[in-house]
Amino acid sequence: MKGVILAAGKGSRLYPVTRIVPKPILPIANRLTVEYAFDRLKEIGIHDICIVVGENEPQMRAALGEGRQFDVHLTYVRQEEPKGLAHAVGFAKDFVGGDPFVLYLGDSVYAEGFAKYAERFRESGCANLNIVKEVEDPSRFGVANVIGERIVKLVEKPKNPESNLAMAGLYFFGPQLWNVLPTLKPSWRGEYEITDAIQALIDTGETVLAGIYHNVWFDTGTLDSYLETSAFLVEDGTLVDPSSTVHGHIGDKVVIGPGAHVECDLIEDSVVLPGAHVKVSGIIRHAILGGPVSSDGDVDSTILHGEYTE
């Protein structure tokens, strides 16, 4: 089995930080976001991984290389235009060949691995097994309608959901996927949806299964979700790299990266990126800070990167 990580997105909800640092290599708890994907794939025996990149390709290659330092082997393919997940995965067809593979969304972080789901996929012989999770607001997600273990219908961001099982960003596929991708049409969003590809598998009589995930899953793409993920990974405590310096009180849920320098009255529920130089006359709260940042007052509920200019 091979791995495919989708990492071509712009990460616009984390601008301006992701104008400087592509989201897949943005540190969370002082590790690159994509390292958590590598961990989960290696746990199920996958070391041969294709990363679908976009305009972030030079930075991604510079940061990850061939993957040796992460005990993986990386192949890069480029999606020139963001036309959806099903469009992106199509660029990995030559890499995957006729093998089964795991499709992993590069900004997802999971508290638990997928060994039992990989085993179920292998033993079932199904065309597709999707990780799904019960959520309070399924209208924000692709939603799976399930009978028993089988997925019988998928709806992308339904206004009136018939199920609370959200697609949770990890998919096991057999080579049957390649038969349906050419049949897809753009959705109302103008994108080729992975949910439409899976629905096409269902409509052509293939077996599609749901693997219900019971642990915590994070999408790290917004300020709130990024900081929530960071706090979870440090167990609501602090992680201050020994090479950084901090002048001020450090509260809970704080991560300060290597080589950073911070001056403030108090910092809490925040992340300071590697090499940042932060000087705030007041409190830093609920923020992501990178580069040179200075303020004569509090910094609250914001994302700043001093190296980015319009």
Q: What is the pLDDT of residues 148-177, one digit of tens each?
A: 999 999 987 888 888 999 999 899 999 999
pTM (2 decimals)?
0.93
pLDDT of 308 > 80? The answer is no
Measured CA to CA, the distance from residue 189 to residue 79 in angstroms comes to 18
**pLDDT at residue 1, rounded to an integer:** 94
pLDDT of 302 > 70? The answer is yes
**pLDDT at residue 310, rounded to an integer:** 59
Would you tell me how many other CB atoms lie within 10 Å of the CB of residue 69?
9
**Which helix (H) or strand (E) element contains residue 9?**
none
Residue 182 CB-density burial (10 A; 0-12 exposed, 13-18 middle, 19+ buried): exposed
**pLDDT at residue 190, rounded to an integer:** 85
Q: Which residue has the tokens 């303020």?
A: 295
What is the chain's alpha carbon radius of gyration, rounded to the nearest angstrom? Answer: 20
**Which helix (H) or strand (E) element contains residue 201?**
helix 194-203
Give the contacts of 96 (CB within 8 A, at least 6 positions apart): 2, 4, 50, 175
pLDDT of 103 > 80? The answer is yes
**pLDDT at residue 117, rounded to an integer:** 97
Measured CA to CA, the distance from residue 96 to residue 163 in angstroms comes to 32
| Cα 95–chain centre separation | 21
Can you read off the two tokens belonging to residue 165? Answer: 């099982």
Would you tell me how many other CB atoms lie within 10 Å of the CB of residue 209?
21
Give the contacts of 233 (CB within 8 A, at least 6 positions apart): 28, 29, 109
Classified as helix, coil or strand, 240 is strand
Q: Decide: 161 and 146 in contact? Cβ < 8 Å.
A: no
